Amino acid sequence: MSDLASTTAPAASLDELEQAHADLVAAGLDLDLTRGKPGADQLDLSTDLDGIIGDDWMLDGVDTRNYGSLDGLPSIKAIGGRLLGMPATNVLAGGNSSLELMGRYLVHAHVFGVGGPDTAWNRGQPKMLCPVPGYDRHFSLTEHLGIEMVPVELTEDGPDMDRVEELVGNDHDVVGMWCVPKYANPTGITYATEVVRRLARLGQVASDHFRIMWDNAYAVHDLTDQPDYLESIFTEAEVNGTQDSVVQFASTSKITLAGSGVAFLGTSLGNLAAFRDHLQYFTIGPDKVNHLRHVRKLGGSRAIGDHMAAQAELIRPKFAIVQEVLADGLGDDGRHGHWSTPSGGYFVSFWSRPGLAGEIVDLAARAGVKLTPAGAAFPYGDDPDDSHIRLAPTYPAQDDVRRAMEVFVTCVKLATARADTTS
Ligand SMILES: Cc1ncc(COP(=O)(O)O)c(C=O)c1O
């Protein structure tokens, strides 16, 4: 939440706001705050990946140009282990997309069964718990596979654990749960240590095939010098003997190149062996040449930290602009809504007054600012309060972020003023 001293928005009449919006529509802007994509300046930090190999194609004694090494070679697995906080031996290094690995893992669990055909989720009426607001692509993937989604409130500390424990303990059709534990997409919160501990204990009461999909996409994406702390779920699961219940994911998509990074899956050795058995039917091995590039670039002990500090320098001003324009334009008295102030990650969440999110997104679209559709951060696109809007400021240039946010503020004020006159 915004921690500024309480202020009110500059006053404007409904007529003035309608006119301001009409002027914006006439201006024919074309701005986009929809997706969490790195800006070109961020990508420029990794252009040295091209050419980094020279003529030495060997990694860990293996010619990377050839087939093989289904789960990657030790040096790239070690980088995944650092991102996921677990030993390299528990990690699989895959292709360029962690979302694809998540999809493959779900197909493995849902269609084939993590412990053989009898354990396939699709033998029953599987349900996945979905902390909301959450990552829209988790939800569309789950829906695509025909798995029922059960929303659970995401609080400032993580998922509502009383509700999660009740659901997992009482209903063995609950086969899984999505988690984005650090700088969550889209609210930016990080799970509190006690929440991580309670999640790690779920495996003691859940069905044997229950899997927490621990998507740590923003593990090293700190924006401040006081980064959020995330307790290690791997360690907690070891303490509780529940290692099989947690499958972790990460990638370098938002470290190096969004379309040409390396994705990782980390889990218990038993789970990993079962997943490898599944994966071998789809590929002879990952892109080890790209693995080699990433080992050369990120393999040093300080390399990831230094690189992410340079990323933060580029992103931080854009997040500051979002906070500044919202605070200046809307005040902090909650009349027009409230918003998150994350210490890292890629997103800011805005909550309008209930019932206005769809209208605000439509108003912004007409004024030339594309926003993620209202409701996108909820299973089946259904935000019961019609209140949440995700803002993604990394991709546009700073001036465009400011312009887009000013338009957004006008749209929030207009929708709120219209609601005031009709209530
Ligand atoms: C939470 C989360 N997980 C995964 C992804 C996609 O990751 P990848 O590029 O590794 O598929 C994103 C991208 O925005 C994300 O926000």
What residues pair up with 31 in beta bridges, in sequence order? 369
- Ligand 1, closest atom to CA 101? 11
pLDDT band at 1 (very low <50, low <70, confident <90, very high): very low
Residue 306's Cβ-side half-sphere holds a number of Cα atoms within 13 Å equal to 9
The CATH code of the domain at 14-32+305-422 is 3.90.1150.10
SS3 of residue 128 by DSSP = strand
**178 alpha carbon – ligand 1 mean position (Å):** 13
pTM for this structure?
0.96
What residue's CA is closest to ligand 1, atom 12? 217
SS3 of residue 370 by DSSP = strand
Strands 158-159 and 148-155: antiparallel
Residue 89 confidence (pLDDT): 98
Are 69 and 286 a contacting pair, CB within 8 Å?
A: yes
Which residues belong to CATH 3.40.640.10 in the chain? 66-299
DSSP letters of 87-111?
-GGGEEE-SS-HHHHHHHHHHIIII
Q: How far is CA 186 from the centre of its chain?
A: 7
**Which of 84, 102, 182, 185 has most ligand 1 atoms within 8 Å of CB, for mutation?**
185
SS3 of residue 411 by DSSP = helix
Q: Which CATH class is domain 66-299?
A: alpha beta
Residue-wise pLDDT for 13-23, tens only, equals: 999 999 999 99
Give the chain's mean pLDDT: 96
Q: Is residue 423's pLDDT more than 80?
A: no
**346 alpha carbon – ligand 1 mean position (Å):** 10
> For tokens 């063995």, what's the residue?
172
SS3 of residue 51 by DSSP = coil
What is the C-alpha to C-alpha distance for residues 114 and 96, in angstroms, rounded to an integer?
A: 24
What is the C-alpha to C-alpha distance for residues 183 and 227, in angstroms, rounded to an integer?
A: 10
What residue's CA is closest to ligand 1, atom 15? 217
Which residues belong to CATH 3.90.1150.10 in the chain? 14-32+305-422
Residue-wise pLDDT for 14-47, tens only, equals: 999 999 999 999 999 999 999 899 999 999 999 9
What residue's CA is closest to ligand 1, atom 6? 99
**328 alpha carbon – ligand 1 mean position (Å):** 31
Residue-wise pLDDT for 296-351, tens only, equals: 999 999 999 999 999 999 999 999 999 999 999 999 899 999 999 999 999 999 99
Q: Is residue 5's pLDDT more than 80?
A: no
Question: Which residues surround ligand 1 with Cβ inside 6 Å?
Answer: 36, 97-99, 135, 180, 185, 215, 217, 251, 253, 263
